[in-house]
Amino acid sequence: YGKNTIKFLRLHKEGKKHFVKEVEVCTHLRLTSAQEYLDGNNSLVIPTDTIKNIVLVLAKKHGIPTIEQFAIDICKHFMTTFCQVGYVKTYVQEVPWQRLHENGVPHIHSFICVPDGIRFCEAEQCRNGPLVVFAGIKDLKLMKTTQSGFEGFYKNEHTTLPERNDRILCGELFCKWSYGDCKDFDFDCIWYKNKIRECILEAFAGPPDCGEYSPSYQKTVNCIQMCILSKVSQVQVIEVVLNNTFYNVVDMTNLGLINDKEVLVPVETPYGSCACTLGRKKFLEA
Amino acid sequence: YGKNTIKFLRLHKEGKKHFVKEVEVCTHLRLTSAQEYLDGNNSLVIPTDTIKNIVLVLAKKHGIPTIEQFAIDICKHFMTTFCQVGYVKTYVQEVPWQRLHENGVPHIHSFICVPDGIRFCEAEQCRNGPLVVFAGIKDLKLMKTTQSGFEGFYKNEHTTLPERNDRILCGELFCKWSYGDCKDFDFDCIWYKNKIRECILEAFAGPPDCGEYSPSYQKTVNCIQMCILSKVSQVQVIEVVLNNTFYNVVDMTNLGLINDKEVLVPVETPYGSCACTLGRKKFLEA
Amino acid sequence: YGKNTIKFLRLHKEGKKHFVKEVEVCTHLRLTSAQEYLDGNNSLVIPTDTIKNIVLVLAKKHGIPTIEQFAIDICKHFMTTFCQVGYVKTYVQEVPWQRLHENGVPHIHSFICVPDGIRFCEAEQCRNGPLVVFAGIKDLKLMKTTQSGFEGFYKNEHTTLPERNDRILCGELFCKWSYGDCKDFDFDCIWYKNKIRECILEAFAGPPDCGEYSPSYQKTVNCIQMCILSKVSQVQVIEVVLNNTFYNVVDMTNLGLINDKEVLVPVETPYGSCACTLGRKKFLEA
Amino acid sequence: YGKNTIKFLRLHKEGKKHFVKEVEVCTHLRLTSAQEYLDGNNSLVIPTDTIKNIVLVLAKKHGIPTIEQFAIDICKHFMTTFCQVGYVKTYVQEVPWQRLHENGVPHIHSFICVPDGIRFCEAEQCRNGPLVVFAGIKDLKLMKTTQSGFEGFYKNEHTTLPERNDRILCGELFCKWSYGDCKDFDFDCIWYKNKIRECILEAFAGPPDCGEYSPSYQKTVNCIQMCILSKVSQVQVIEVVLNNTFYNVVDMTNLGLINDKEVLVPVETPYGSCACTLGRKKFLEA
C-alpha cells in the first residue's frame, strides 16, 4: 500500500469576512494488484502527485465544510474513480487557527494559532464494505494539582512505589471515537451541540468548586469514555489514551527544608500511558 | 562558561484554590578563573547539581511571584554568594498552563496547556555592572489572509518573484524588550495593565473591521515595535523577529480550474525571517 | 492496557575492555481484568514504577546479550510472574554507539554515536499463545542519484506528473521481519553471519560498478524483501516501508541557464511512503 | 536584517561516477537603509526569492568544491552586486551523505546518510571589512565509560553532589574555529591532511589502550582546543561547547542488589553544557 501526506490552506470569503481552514491530509491506498511490486509494472499505480491533485481539486470545488465530510468525499472519490483500489483511508487534521478578537470584536481576516487540542478525523473503506468514520481530539494537555492518588495496587518484591493519595495528575489526552452508520450527519453540529471538548474537560477535572478524586489514570480514562458515550448518542466506540507525565516532590531534607508538595520536578523516564477502548453494551478491550 | 537548564513546577495554595507555575530555568555562569580549563583544578567550579539546588531552594522559599522577579533573585544570589562568578545570566520561560473554566466558572485545581505564545524573561549581570532585565513573548503564530502585499522591491537579473498586493502574511513572532533602570517594577502589572500581548496582536492585525495594509514583513515588524514603545514607557529597546511562512496559490490551470486564492500550499523552503531592534530616540540596528 | 518506556545503559567489562549497550525499552501490558477502569480497584494493577524496576533488574542480572533475547526474557518474566497479565509486548531499540578506533586500533572504553540505521526488535505473547519475535532496522536513509525512474503509471484527468527515467531515488527505510518458531536462536549470529544490513544496502543499490535500474519505489521495496527472504532462512514474513523524499530538478530557464539534473531541491510536501508485507509461499498484503 | 534558509542538492558526474553534495545554506543580510522598516519603501529590499535564486545559480555555475569556498563565493557575490548591503553572513552545513561500499568496493551512484558529526562553515563580511571564515563540526556524540571524574569542586550549604572518580562522560560536541587571513586556502586539504576530526576524537578519548583521565568536562574541552591549535596552524581561535548528558548509577539496594556501575539511567534535567573560546597567545573568554 501507499501513503501520502499533503498540507494546505483553504480560504473562503463571505462578503469581506474571511474563513480559513488549514489541514494536513494523509491518504492511504491499497491496490488489488501486486504487479507493481513483483514485476515493476506501474500500469495501475496512482502517483503521489495525482493523489495530491485530487485532494486539492476536491478542496477547491467543494471547500472543507467539516473535516469529516471532506475525508468522506476523498474516500468516495477514490473508490468510485479507481477500480484498482481495494482499500482507502483518509486522515485529516486541522491546524488550530482561531479568529483574533480585539476587545471582544472578531477580526475579519486575522487569526492566531492556539494548539490546545487538535481535531482530527478518519474515513475508511474496503471495496464492498461500509464507509466508517472516526473523529477525535489529540494533544490535549491537562493537569490536576490535587484530587488524585494511586493506592492499593499489586505489590511484590519489585515494588518500590509508595502509596499516594495526593499526587499531581498530568497527561496528554488522545480521544478517538467511531460514528456508527453515518449517512447524513452534521459533524460540526454533533461536535458543538454536544460540547464534546467541554465534556472531556469536565470528566477530567470534576466540578469546578471541588474536583473529583481520581484513584488512577485508568479510572479517569474510563470517566471520559462514559461521559462521551452518555452525552453523544451517535458515538459507538471510543478509545482514550492518556500519556502520563509524572511529577516527583523534590526531597529537600538534606537542604534543611520541608517541601510540602510545593516544588516538583517532571520525571522524563519512565513514562507511561494507559489506554482503553470502550463500546456500547460490551467491552471490546480493556 | 557553563550553562544549566532545569524544569520544575511550583505549586501554591490560597485556601482551597491552587496556583501553578511550571518553568524552565537556564542559568549561565562565567567564572573569573581559568584554572579549571587549563589545569583541571575544580576548586572554584560550582557544580550543575548545586546550581539546580539553588534554583529549587529559591523557588521553595519565595515562590515565583513573576518570572522576571525570580530571574532577578537568581542572578543576585549568584553574584552575592560566589565571588568567583564574573557574569551571570538567567533565562526563565513559562509552560503556558491556564486555569480551566466550566461554564465560565474557574476550576480550583485544574489546568490546560494553551501554547499560543510563551512568556519569557532574562536577567543579566556582570560583576560591578548593572543588572539588566529583558522580557518577551515567543512562538506566537499569526496569520492575515489579506491586506498584505510586497511590491516595488529591488530587481535585477536574478529576480523571478512577481509583485503581489494580496498575499497571505503568516509567521511566528518573537519579541524581546529591555526594561531600563529597573528597581522596583511590578512586572505582571506592566504586562497586564499595558496589555502588551493585545498590543502586539493589534499592531499585527489592524482594526477588526478592515485590518491595515502591510507592504512588507519589515513594516509589520516596525509597527509592532512602535506600538510597544508608545504604550509601555518602561521599555527602552525592543527586538522583533518574524519568521515568515510563505503560502503559494496553487496553479490549477492544467487541471482545468481557476484558483482565485482559494487553495494555497505552505512553502517549506526557502523560508526567511526579518528582524529589527529599535530603541528610544535612536536606531540601534536595522 | 498500559505502556511504559524506559531508557538506560548497561555497562559490561571484560578485563579492562568496556562494552556498552544503551537501549530504550517499551513494555505493553494488557490485564485480563477491567475493574481498575470501571471501579477504580487497583489491586491487580502493576505500577509503571514496578515495570521499570523489573526491566532494570533483568538487565543487571543477565545483561543484554542480544536485544532480542532481552525482549524475550522480559516477556517471559511478566507472563510467568503475573497471572493477571493477558498480553505482553516488549519493544527494544538500541542507541547506535560504536567503539572508537584510532588508526585502526579499537579504543577500550570510548564510543561514538553513529545513527546510520537503528536496530530494534519486538517480542509478543498472549496468554496460552506462542511467543513471537520480530527484528528490524529503521531510520536508514539511502539515496541513488541515477538508475531510477517512474513510467507507465495510471493516468487520468488529474494526472500532471511527467514520466521520468532518470530521477533521484531517496528515502528512509524501515524493515521488520518475524522469526518463525524461535527456540534457541543466536540472534546476533543471524544478523552478522547473514549480513542482513549489507544485504538491504545491496538490494537497494545494485552492483557497485553499474547499479540496477529501479522502475518504482514499489519494486525496490520488493527487491529488498526478496533478498532477505532468500538469504535468511529463519525469516518468515518481512515488512518494508520506504518513506520517499522527492527531489525536483530546479527549472532555471528564466535565469538563462540549462539545469541538466545538477541542482535539485527536496520537495517537502506531498511526501509519500510505500509499504509491503511479504511472506514465504504466499502474499499476505500488497 | 533578514535571514533566509534554503536546502538543495548539487549533483556532479565524472564519467559514470556520481558525486553528491546536499547542503543547507542560510544567508543573513543587513541593509544600510532603514526605509523599508520605517516607511514601507521596498526599493532596496532584496527578496528572499532572489537570494534563493542567487545561491542556486552559484551552485549550478561553479559547483560546491568545498562548503567554505561556496560560503565565500556567496558573500562576495552579495557584497559586489548590491551596494545597499552593509553586512552579509553565510552559513553552510552538509547533509552527511557517504558513498556506499559493497565488500570494500565504492558504489558509483549510491549513498547512505551517516550523521556522526555535521561539518559546517560560516563566511562573514561587513562593508569595508575583511572576509572572515569559520569552520566547524557539530552534533558529534561521544562517550567514555571510565577515566572520568569530578572532585575537589567548590562546596557550600547547597552542595549535595558527591565526589566521583569513575563516572561516565557523555556529551554532544560543537567545535567552531576561525581561520585568520584566508586568501587561497584549500579547506578540504586542511580538514583531511590535519585529520581534524580524528584529532578531536583522540583528544576526547585518549590513547586506545588506556584512555586519559578527565577531571572535568572543562578540562576535556580545553584538551580538544589545545590539540587543534597545535595541529592546525591556520586556526586562530577555537570555540568548543560540550553539552553534557549525565548518567546516574541506579540504586538497587532496596531491590536486594548491588549495582557496581552496571546499570545507569540518563538524567534529563538538569542538563548542562560547558563552553570555552581559546585563541593563540591570549585567552579571549573563559
- SS3 category, C92: strand
Residues in chain A closer than 8 A to B54 (CB atoms): none
Q: Tell me, what DSSP letter sits at residue B70?
A: H
Q: What residues are paired with B24 via a beta bridge? A: B7, B93
SS in 3 state form for A174-197?
EEEEEECCCCCCCHHHHHHHCCHH
Q: From the centroid of its chain, how far is CA D130? A: 22
- SS3 category, C149: coil
Give the pLDDT of residue B283: 42
Give the pLDDT of residue C237: 93
Is B145 annotated as contributing to ligand binding?
A: no
Report the complex ipTM: 0.94
Per-chain mean pLDDT for chain C:
93
What mean pLDDT do residues A200-228 have?
A: 96
d(CA A201, CA C204): 49
Q: Count of alpha carbons within 13 Å of A192, Cβ hemisphere only? A: 5
d(CA A64, CA A21): 7
Tell whether the torsion through CA atoms of C58, C62, C67 and C68 is positive or negative.
negative
d(CA C77, CA C83): 11
Most distant CA pair in chain C, distance: 76
Answer whether residue C34 shows pLDDT above 70.
yes
DSSP state string for A194-225 = TTHHHHHHHHHH--TTT---BS-HHHHHHHHH
d(CA C248, CA C228): 32
The burial class, CB within 10 Å (0-12 / 13-18 / 19+), for C247 is buried
Cα B174 to Cα B53, B170, B274, C258, D230: the distances in Å are: 31, 13, 11, 40, 42
B143-167 confidence digits (pLDDT tens): 999 999 999 999 999 999 999 999 9
Answer whether residue A217 shows pLDDT above 90.
yes
- Which of B38, B153, B275 has the CB atom closest to D47's CB atom? B153
- Cell numbers standing for residue B207: 482594526
Asked whether A178 and A284 are in contact (CB, 8 A), the reply is no
Q: Where are the alpha helices (DSSP H) in A48-149?
A: 48-62, 67-81
Best CA proximity match to C71, nearest among C155, C146, C138, C134: C134
A154 and C84 within 8 Å at the Cβ level: the answer is yes
Q: What residues are paired with B125 via a beta bridge? A: B88
Is B66 annotated as contributing to ligand binding?
A: no
Q: From the centroid of its chain, how far is CA C53? A: 26
Answer whether residue A142 shows pLDDT above 70.
yes
d(CA C27, CA C29): 7
Q: What are phi and psi of D99, to 5 degrees?
A: -65, 135
Answer whether residue B285 shows pLDDT above 70.
no
Best CA proximity match to D30, nearest among D90, D72, D86: D86
Give the pLDDT of residue D183: 67
Q: What are phi and psi of B192, to 5 degrees?
A: -80, -40
Give CA angle at D98 (D96, D101), nearest 5°. 160
C13-33 confidence digits (pLDDT tens): 999 999 999 999 999 999 999
pTM for the predicted model, two decimal places: 0.95
Q: Count of alpha carbons within 13 Å of C110, Cβ hemisphere only? A: 26
Q: Where are the beta strands (DSSP E) in A74-117?
A: 85-94, 97-102, 105-113
Q: From the centroid of its chain, how far is CA A7? A: 18
B275 and D1 within 8 Å at the Cβ level: the answer is yes
Q: Which residues of chain D have pLDDT under 50?
A: 282-286
- SS3 category, C5: strand
User: Residue D254: which region, alpha, beta or left (left: phi > 0; alpha: psi -120 to 50)?
Assistant: alpha
Answer whether residue A286 shows pLDDT above 50.
no
In chain B, % of residues over pLDDT 70 = 97
Per-chain mean pLDDT for chain B:
93
Q: What are phi and psi of B59, to 5 degrees?
A: -65, -40
Place of cell 509592532: B224
Nearest C-alpha in B relative to D30: B286
Fold held by A1-129: Urate Oxidase (3.10.270)
- Which of C157, C256, C268 has the CB atom closest to B269's CB atom? C268
Cis peptide before B208 (omega within 30 of 0): no
Asked whether A148 and A169 are in contact (CB, 8 A), the reply is yes
What mean pLDDT do residues C256-260 have?
A: 96
Amino acid in the structure at residue D200:
I
* D44 CA: distance to closest CA in chain C (Å): 21
Best CA proximity match to C170, nearest among C199, C146, C138, C196: C146
What mean pLDDT do residues C63-77 have?
A: 96
D53 and B219 within 8 Å at the Cβ level: the answer is no
Q: What is the CA radius of gyration of chain C?
A: 23
The burial class, CB within 10 Å (0-12 / 13-18 / 19+), for D180 is middle
Between A7-21, B189-203, C100-114, C121-135, the lowest mean confidence (pLDDT) is in B189-203
B50-61 confidence digits (pLDDT tens): 999 999 999 999
How far apart are the two ends of chain A, measured CA to CA in Å? 30
pLDDT-based confidence at residue C96 (cuts at 50, 70, 90): very high
Residues in chain B closer than 8 A to A168 (CB atoms): 9, 11
Please name the chains neighbouring D, where neighbouring means 3+ C-beta pairs under 8 angstroms. A, B, C
- Mutation choice for B interface testing from A113, A169, A199 by most B CBs within 10 A: A113
Q: Tell me, what DSSP letter sits at residue D162?
A: P
Q: What are phi and psi of C138, to 5 degrees?
A: -140, 170
Q: What residues are paired with A7 via a beta bridge? A: A24
- Cell numbers standing for residue B36: 579549571
d(CA C263, CA D54): 12
* Superfamily grouping for domain C143-285: Urate Oxidase; (3.10.270.10)
Q: What are phi and psi of C51, to 5 degrees?
A: -60, -45
Residues in chain D closer than 8 A to A253 (CB atoms): none
Tell whether the torsion through CA atoms of B181, B186, B191 and B193 is positive or negative.
negative
Give CA angle at A201 (A195, A205), nearest 5°. 140
- Cell numbers standing for residue C113: 554515536
C211 and D110 within 8 Å at the Cβ level: the answer is yes
User: What does the domain layout of chain B look like in residue ranges?
Assistant: 1-129, 143-285
DSSP state string for B126-185 = ETTS--EEEEEEEEEEEEESSSB-B-S----TT--PPPBSS--EEEEEEEEEEESS-SS-
Q: What are phi and psi of D268, to 5 degrees?
A: -75, -40
Cα C247 to Cα C44, C145, C227, D6, D57: the distances in Å are: 54, 10, 27, 14, 17
Is B244 annotated as contributing to ligand binding?
A: yes
Give the pLDDT of residue D268: 76
Give the pLDDT of residue D286: 37
B265 and C265 within 8 Å at the Cβ level: the answer is no
Please name the chains neighbouring B, where neighbouring means 3+ C-beta pairs under 8 angstroms. A, C, D
Give the pLDDT of residue C181: 67
Q: What is the CA radius of gyration of chain D?
A: 23
The burial class, CB within 10 Å (0-12 / 13-18 / 19+), for B80 is exposed
d(CA B166, CA B264): 13
Task: Please check whether the two domains, D1-129 and D143-285, share a CATH topology.
Answer: yes
pLDDT-based confidence at residue B284 (cuts at 50, 70, 90): very low
d(CA B75, CA A57): 58
Asked whether A213 and A148 are in contact (CB, 8 A), the reply is yes
For residue D55, count other CB atoms closer than 10 A to its CB.
26
A49 and C6 within 8 Å at the Cβ level: the answer is no
Answer whether residue B85 shows pLDDT above 70.
yes
D258-274 confidence digits (pLDDT tens): 999 999 999 877 778 88
- Mutation choice for B interface testing from C157, C259, C268 by most B CBs within 10 A: C268
Binding residues of C for O2: 48, 244
C157 and B269 within 8 Å at the Cβ level: the answer is no
- SS3 category, B200: helix
- Cell numbers standing for residue A199: 465534556
Between A115-124, A172-181, C90-99, C237-246, the lowest mean confidence (pLDDT) is in A172-181
d(CA A206, CA A172): 17
Residues in chain B closer than 8 A to C268 (CB atoms): 268-269
For residue D139, count other CB atoms closer than 10 A to its CB.
17
Best CA proximity match to C12, nearest among B135, D56, D161, D145: D145
